[in-house]
Amino acid sequence: MQNAAGGGASVQSGARHDTYRAIVSDLKSLIEHVQASMRQIEFAIAGEAPPGNQEVAGNFVVLDDVTPRYAKANAALRACNAGLGTALHFLLDAKTSKQPTNESGGRYRGPVRLTGRG
């Protein structure tokens, strides 16, 4: 009974396209959030780094117990970012392989990894 009124297949296809676009949009948003968190962590690490060699002054070394946690969190975010980027590319490749026209408004070519600080 999908096509009882003659437009059932079209409505179902439209709903599938809307779902696809929502998933792509969510993945892009998640990637942006993860990358923003990575930048914040890198900024926090840079803010805690002592200027010059002041940490060795007076024959003792200051051990920072926060930086290793930041580094571990940043590594986890990098892995998450890579996975999200891969998922997004799979979705975009699947969509463009089924349809010769690019309806997604262009393939997502944003970075899936942080490319350094400016």
3, pLDDT greater than 70 = no
Query: Region 88-117: what's the mean pLDDT?
Result: 61
**Token pair 């990637």: residue:** 31
Cβ–Cβ under 8 Å, residues 74 and 42? yes
Q: Would you call 10 exposed, middle or buried from its count of C-beta atoms within 10 A (0-12, 13-18, 19+)?
A: exposed
Both tokens assigned to 33: 């959030």
CA distance 2 to 7: 8
pLDDT tens, residue by residue, 32-55: 999 999 999 999 888 876 665 555
